[in-house]
């Protein structure tokens, strides 16, 4: 059985390049998906408290550890949710994640978003007066949260990183602490190449994990797997469109975490195909003049009234990210 290629982190740790995403994997589906994936070679799982399915992932892990894999052969990533960004809360939430997963450590723990919510009132605390909004904690800074991540016991977390961070947000936490995140997990597909952010991360030795590699869309457009150019390259390579999109991320040096709960897709997504420079450029070109970021919390319902990425639609937001 092939276990796929690995990325070596700045710390020397080894990350399997293709992992299984689990966001929106439904109850019962996710347990089967994780068990099936591990039985078929996946060693990297992308998890989070906010996906509210980690206990099911834990049930699947029980079925495969140690009969199929040793714990240390798996690479488990999870994420600190916004409502536990405060120094007094971060380790408590980590402990809850470890309990849900039935493990005593994570390989990688990420700050899920550069936004804090007030703690102690659920994962999505409602705004006190505005029905369609989430409450934002405007006092806890990214630097405070990053310091809380740095202070987590190494016995519980092997590496720390961030997710959905921009260049300015990364610079802010690095300059304040001298500690560089090992990973920035970001939305990354041909419609959102983010070349400046990618170049900055490369210069800082921050590895990029690509989420929504298939262009999972929250705004009702067809998925990128339906794009005629992606389909054409796939036909030529005798591959699936998803394999082409995953290979596009791999070509750029990312690790890639496609989500599926279907066994045939879990298998085929894991099978790496390689793009020639010409095919890579063909797929890249579909993003020219077609820039699209799908995941913008300002557009969620209920919304987070904060400008994270400085996208045009976010300019109307009342709040900015509090870096310091
Ligand atoms: N850090 C963050 O803020 C963040 C945000 C978003 C996502 N993520 C992580 O990244 C993972 C992947 O991102 P994502 O779930 O947004 O999107 P994605 O992996 O790009 O796309 C998932 C969608 O594509 C479908 N799909 C899977 N394989 C396919 C194939 N071979 N052909 C056609 N369709 C296929 C899945 O359906 P089926 O399941 O029905 O196959 C699902 O609807 C998440 O699960 C999560 O772990 C992180």
The pLDDT tens digits for 191-232 are 999 999 999 999 999 999 999 999 976 677 788 999 999 999
Q: Which CATH superfamily is domain 6-320 in?
A: NADP-dependent oxidoreductase domain (3.20.20.100)
Query: What is the average per-residue pLDDT within 73-81?
Result: 98
For residue 135, the model assigns a pLDDT of 98
C-alpha–C-alpha distance, residues 322 and 114, integer Å: 8
Closest CA to 296 of 222, 219, 202: 219
Q: State the Cα–Cα distance between residues 170 and 143, nearest whole angstrom.
A: 10
Q: Where are the alpha helices (DSSP H) in 40-183?
A: 54-64, 90-101, 142-150, 167-177
Residue 276 clears pLDDT 90, i.e. is over it = yes
* Residue 193 to residues 20, 275, 280, 287, 289, Cα–Cα distance (Å): 21, 17, 12, 8, 12
Predicted pLDDT of residue 221 = 79
- pLDDT average, residue stretch 247-263: 97
CA–CA dist 44, 19 (Å, integer) = 4
What mean pLDDT value characterizes the chain? Answer: 96
Share of the chain above pLDDT 90, in %: 92
- Residue nearest atom 23 in ligand 1 by C-alpha distance: 216
Query: What pLDDT is stored for residue 129 in this prediction?
Result: 92
Residue 24, pLDDT score: 84
- What is the rounded average pLDDT of the residues 233-250? 98
Quote the ligand 1 centre to 318 CA distance (angstroms).
30
- Is 74 touching ligand 1 by the criterion CB < 6 Å? no
In this prediction, residue 2 carries a pLDDT of 72
* Site of tokens 């596009």: 248
Tokens of 232: 């054409």
22 lines ligand 1 (CB under 6 A): yes
100 touches 270 (CB < 8 A): no
pLDDT of amino acid 115: 98
**How many angstroms is it from 310 CA to the middle of ligand 1?**
24
Q: What is the DSSP letter of 119?
A: S
Predicted confidence band at 81 (pLDDT cuts at 50, 70, 90)?
Answer: very high
Query: Does residue 54 carry a pLDDT above 90?
Result: yes
**Ligand 1 contact via 190 beta carbon (within 6 Å):** no
For the Cβ of 162 lying below 6 angstroms from any atom of ligand 1, the answer is no
205, 10 in Cβ contact below 8 A? Answer: yes
In whole angstroms, what is the distance from residue 158 CA to residue 60 CA?
22
Residue 109 appears among annotated catalytic residues: no
Would you state the structure tokens that stand for residue 29, as one six-digit string? 């589906």
Element (DSSP H or E) covering residue 162: strand 157-163
Q: Extract the tokens encoding 301.
A: 């319902």
Whole-number Å distance, alpha carbon 153 to ligand 1 midpoint, is: 31
Query: How far apart are alpha carbons 276 and 269 in whole angstroms?
Result: 18
Q: Is the CB of 146 under 6 A from ligand 1?
A: no
φ and ψ of 196, to 5 deg: -65, -45
Within a 10 A sphere around the Cβ of 300, how many other Cβ atoms? 14
> 280: part of which helix (H) or strand (E)?
helix 277-285
Q: How far is CA 253 from CA 207, 282, 307, in A?
A: 8, 18, 28
The per-residue pLDDT for range 24-35, each reduced to its tens digit, is 878 789 999 999
pLDDT at 62 (0 to 100): 98
Question: Ligand 1 within 6 A of 254 CB?
Answer: no
Residue owning the nearest CA to atom 29 of ligand 1: 265
Q: How far, in Å, is the centroid of ligand 1 from the Cα of 33?
A: 13
Residue 134's pLDDT is 98
pLDDT reading at 307 higher than 80:
yes
pLDDT at 222: 84
Hey, where are the domains in the chain? 6-320
Longest dimension (CA), the chain: 56
3-state class (DSSP) for residue 263: helix
Nearest CA to ligand 1 atom 21: 216
Atom number, ligand 1, closest to the C-alpha of residue 110: 1
CB half-sphere exposure, 125, CA atoms < 13 A: 17
Q: Work out the average pLDDT over 38-42.
A: 98
Q: Give the confidence band of 234 by pLDDT, cuts at 50, 70, 90.
A: very high
Decide: 30 and 22 in contact? Cβ < 8 Å. yes
Q: In the prediction, which pLDDT does 207 show?
A: 97
Query: Which residue's CA lies nearest to atom 14 of ligand 1?
Result: 212
pLDDT at 11 over 90: no
Catalytic residue selected from 51, 109, 211, 298: 51
Residue among 22, 32, 186, 212 whose CB has most ligand 1 atoms within 8 A, to mutate:
212
Question: Under 8 Å CB-to-CB from 25, ≥6 apart: which residues?
Answer: 33, 51, 53, 259, 261
Average of per-residue pLDDT across 231-235: 98
186 phi and psi angles, rounded to 5 deg? -135, 160
């Amino acid at each position: 059985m092939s276990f796929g290629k690995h990325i070596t982190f700045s710390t020397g740790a080894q990350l399997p390049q293709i992992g299984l995403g689990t966001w929106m994997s439904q109850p019962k589906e996710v347990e089967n998906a994780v068990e099936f994936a591990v039985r078929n070679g996946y060693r990297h799982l992308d998890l989070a408290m906010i996906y509210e399915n980690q206990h099911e992932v834990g049930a699947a892990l029980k079925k495969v550890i140690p009969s199929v894999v040793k714990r240390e052969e798996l690479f488990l990533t999870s994420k600190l949710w916004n409502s536990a960004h405060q120094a007094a809360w971060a380790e408590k939430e980590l402990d809850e994640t470890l309990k849900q997963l039935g493990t005593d450590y994570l390989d990688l723990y990420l700050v899920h978003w550069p936004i804090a919510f007030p703690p102690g009132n659920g994962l999505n605390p409602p705004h006190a007066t505005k029905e369609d909004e989430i409450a934002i904690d405007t006092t806890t800074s990214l630097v405070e949260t990053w310091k809380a991540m740095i202070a987590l016991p190494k016995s519980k977390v092997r590496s720390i990183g961030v997710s959905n961070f921009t260049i300015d947000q990364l610079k802010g936490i690095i300059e304040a602490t001298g500690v560089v995140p090992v990973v920035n997990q970001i939305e990354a597909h041909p419609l959102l190449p983010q070349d400046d952010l990618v170049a900055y991360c490369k210069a800082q030795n921050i590895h990029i994990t690509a989420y929504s590699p298939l262009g999972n869309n929250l705004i009702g457009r067809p998925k990128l797997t339906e794009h005629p150019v992606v389909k054409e390259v796939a036909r030529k390579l005798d591959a699936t469109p998803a394999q082409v999109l995953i290979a596009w991320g791999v070509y750029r040096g990312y690790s890639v975490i496609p989500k599926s709960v279907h066994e045939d897709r879990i298998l085929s997504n894991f099978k790496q195909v390689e793009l020639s420079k010409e095919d890579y450029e063909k797929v890249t070109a579909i993003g020219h003049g077609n820039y699209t970021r799908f995941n913008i919390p300002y557009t969620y319902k209920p919304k987070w009234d904060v400008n994270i990425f400085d996208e045009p639609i976010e300019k109307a937001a009342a709040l900015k990210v509090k870096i310091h």
